[in-house]
Amino acid sequence: MTDRRTRSSLVYGPYHPPERPHRRRRVRTGTEPRTALSDLRLRRTLSLVFAPVFLIGAVAFALLAWNAGPGPAPNRDTYVVFAALCAAFTAVALIDLAVIARRMRARS
C-alpha cells in the first residue's frame, strides 16, 4: 500500500500535498485577554443608558406583581421573574460602570 496523505476530502498520492504560502504571524504572548482594549466610552454610555431603563423596568414589574392576582397568565409569578431579571441586569450594568471607572482611572 502506498503512503497516502489526506487533507479534507482530497487524497494525495505518494507525494506531499502542496504547501500553503506561509504568512508571518504575530507571536502570541499569552497575555492577550489582559492587554485587550475595549471601547470604554461606548461601554460607559451603554451602561449609563440601560441601568436606569432596567431599574425602571424592575420597579414597574414589581408594581405589576404587587397588583396581580393568582389568576391566568400573566400572573404574579411572571411579573416577579421579570422584575428579578431587570434587577439583575441593573446590577450587571452598575458593576460594569464600576469596572469601567477603575479602568479609566488606571489608563490615565
| Residue 108: inside a domain | yes
| Residue 102: inside a domain | yes
Whether pLDDT at 6 is above 60: no
- Residues ≥6 apart with Cβ < 8 Å to 79: 61, 62, 64, 65, 68
Which whole-number Å values give the CA distances from 61 to 22, 29, 88, in the listed order? 58, 48, 13
- Give me the pLDDT at residue 24, please: 67
Pick from 4, 99, 83: nearest CA to 44: 99
Segment 22-52, tens digit of pLDDT: 666 666 666 666 666 678 899 999 999 999 9
| Residue 42: inside a domain | no
| Residue 55: inside a domain | yes
* Residue range of the domain that includes 65: 51-108
Q: Is the pTM of this model over 0.75?
A: no
| Number of domain units in the chain | 1
- Give me the pLDDT at residue 39, please: 86
Whether pLDDT at 94 is above 60: yes
- Three-state DSSP at 10 gives strand
Average pLDDT over residues 68-78: 86
Distance of CA 14 to the CA centre of its chain: 48
